[in-house]
Amino acid sequence: FVQILAEESEDEPPSEEERAAEQLSERNVAGGNKKGAVPEETERNGQRDGEEAEPDQTPALNNKPRKKKKKRKTKKTSAGEILEDNDLEDIDSLLEKIEDTNGLSQQTQSGIIADSRPLLYVEHRNLNPENELKRYFGARAVLGDQRPRQRQRQYVRSTWLTAPKNTWPRYSKTGIAMQLLDTRRGVQYFTFEHHREYQQVQFKFLDAVESMDPNNIVLLLQMNPYHVDSLLQLSDVCRMQEDQEMARDLIERALYSLECTFHPVFSLTSGTCRLDYRRPENRAFFLALFKHLMFLEKRGCPRTALEFCKLILSLDPEDDPLGVLLLIDFLALRAREYTFLTRMFQEWESHRSLSLLPNFAFSVPLAYFFLSQQEERPELEQSQARERAAQLIRVALIRFPSVLMPLLDHCSVQPDARVTLHGFFGRSAQICQPPALSQLTALYVGRTHTLWKDPAVMAWLETNVREVLNMVDTDDPLVGESENKRMKRYQNAPRNIYRHVILSEMKEAMAALPLEVTSQPVMGFDPLPPLDPIISYTRPERTNHPSHESTLSLFFRSLLPNFNLQGDVRHDGEEEAGAGQDLNQGVNRLMAAMRDMLANIQFQEPPRDNNPEGDGDWD
């Protein structure tokens, strides 16, 4: 009887919703529906149970319910019954209720699973910026006429981090591999390895960097189009020349090259795979992810950038070599992922002391304030979030009073006379703070001041600033305690914070860097390398140092770049036996170079006198 009804439904497609409802009720009766007269959503669930028992009917029974437009209206009834009977007392009992009634099982279960996932869990669909742009502008505006072109494109390897482009060179093995080093307590430790061929290319790249000529890097990329460090360094050159499109394309190519070498067990989403930044082979992956993240944020894809930020943090959450904890709060606020930010603060505050960072001290109460403004939340949750936001922002203002005035200045807001004349938020608060705290403050204000320009946010901040001034005037013990801790801490910033400031290129924070950081050269492919690296291979020593050569040798080297007084020792790596033989060979080379130079010199005759206009050619 069910099969006959299924065939009738295929031959006669429904034209009205009443007719479809009658067919659904008949199928539920035939399928042994025990619930009797229930809402339309429950009838559909009974139909799905029947489909699981008879898979042959799936195509016929699945098409019609999907065309219904009243699904959401009836879904609220079943969901409301579940929540009212449960009152969210226990997660296990809630799961049992959901399993008993299939009304909202998939949606509710997915919400609970999302909360039970690890904090740094990464979703593949959120790594694609096109998915975020489609939500903003629609698929047609984002893709345009790309769909027919993709069908005719040649086969390329599917990747998650980036999508390969037709303009890229054909990919071949580069000489990079990933190895699994160890597995401890459910955490897997990986590392990239460079084969001998790639090591030789790496040595040529270092020579090209020392030459200070970007054309040498371009020539190297023509021979090795997927050399990662060359792509990173050339991307910085393009970005300095304001060629943002090419700079972003080179970073994406570097990520594609590294992803093609992943270990089969390496997972981007689990949050349990680790890479040690102390190994030089692993640093390129960290830097490529961070630079790609910055391009995504500028492109207007904060949700995708947040997912990449979580990925970087999951690779080394303990050491955080690139200091992404100074950035993740800003991306969470921009992406409106307030629940993620508050959850991270609750879970990590006990062992990481996130409240000691100015960015978390101010961003977390701002996230609670935005949660309190969401009208779809219950009134109790809104009031709790409002109280929590007020409590945390007052603690933040007491701990870091030097943030307020620069923040108001960037927001073009003039504070009232009481705030301006009060010494707690005055100029002395900025002058007396330690140097490391000045860098953190400048970094946070320069990056997140746009989030505080909302009039509602400013009104909320103004109210709490007045409350803090009242606490200061009444000599609250928290004020003195925070001042003592502030002067003892933040004397010297760790190296990863300096590295983050350099990569972020925030002008306010760059100006606060100490002299020992700004005086040393910083390379885009490896900014501020760790002081305790784990070296797997070393670069061969160069025996001919131009700085140790004589003045005459340097003069001829400037005229003839190929001239080498000491011989080409770099290639064969063998030393000559005897200083006399070295001297004779050097003199012979010098004489040969002089003869070659003199033979190539040609003197030009002056113009002839019979051509006074000077429109003739030189001989």
pLDDT digits (tens, 9 = 90+) for 422-449: 889 988 888 888 889 999 999 999 999 9
Q: Which residue has the higher pLDDT, 539 or 589?
A: 539
44 pLDDT higher than 50: no
Q: Which residue has the higher pLDDT, 545 or 502?
A: 502
Distance CA(347)–CA(353), nearest Å, equals: 10
Per-residue model confidence (pLDDT) at position 487: 87
| DSSP percent split of the chain into helix, strand, coil, nearest 5 | 65, 5, 35
Helices H / strands E in the chain, number of each: 32, 3
pLDDT digits (tens, 9 = 90+) for 482-518: 999 998 889 889 999 999 999 998 888 888 888 888 8
315 pLDDT higher than 60: yes
Per-residue model confidence (pLDDT) at position 92: 46
Per-residue model confidence (pLDDT) at position 558: 55
CA 494-352-366 angle, 5° bins: 100
Per-residue model confidence (pLDDT) at position 3: 46
Region 134-152 average pLDDT? 67
Residues facing residue 184 across a β-bridge: 187
User: What is the chain's alpha carbon radius of gyration, rounded to the nearest angstrom?
Assistant: 33
pLDDT digits (tens, 9 = 90+) for 189-230: 999 999 999 999 999 999 999 998 999 999 999 999 999 999
412 Cβ neighbours under 8 A, 6+ residues apart: none
Per-residue model confidence (pLDDT) at position 602: 55
Per-residue model confidence (pLDDT) at position 5: 42
Distance CA(92)–CA(84), nearest Å, equals: 16
Hey, what are 441's tokens? 């403050």
Edge to edge, the sheet with strand 273-275 lists 176-184, 187-194, 273-275
CATH architecture of 125-141+159-321: Alpha Horseshoe (1.25)
Q: Are the CB atoms for 287 and 323 separated by under 8 Å?
A: no
What is the share, in percent, of the chain residues with pLDDT greater than 70? 67
Average pLDDT of the chain, as a whole number: 78
Q: Are the CB atoms for 345 and 360 separated by under 8 Å?
A: yes
Amino acid at 115: D
Biggest alpha carbon distance in the chain? 118
pLDDT digits (tens, 9 = 90+) for 390-417: 999 999 999 999 999 999 999 999 998 9
Q: Are the CB atoms for 563 and 589 separated by under 8 Å?
A: yes
562 pLDDT higher than 90: no
Q: Are the CB atoms for 124 and 302 separated by under 8 Å?
A: no
76 pLDDT higher than 60: no
Per-residue model confidence (pLDDT) at position 582: 53
Distance CA(485)–CA(148), nearest Å, equals: 62
Domain residue ranges of the chain, discontinuous segments joined by +:
125-141+159-321, 323-519+527-536
pLDDT-derived band at 604 (thresholds 50, 70, 90) equals low
pLDDT digits (tens, 9 = 90+) for 89-110: 444 444 444 434 333 333 333 3
Per-residue model confidence (pLDDT) at position 427: 83
Q: Coil, strand, or helix at residue 90?
A: coil
Region 67-86 average pLDDT? 43
Region 283-302 average pLDDT? 96
129 pLDDT higher than 50: yes
Region 532-544 average pLDDT? 83
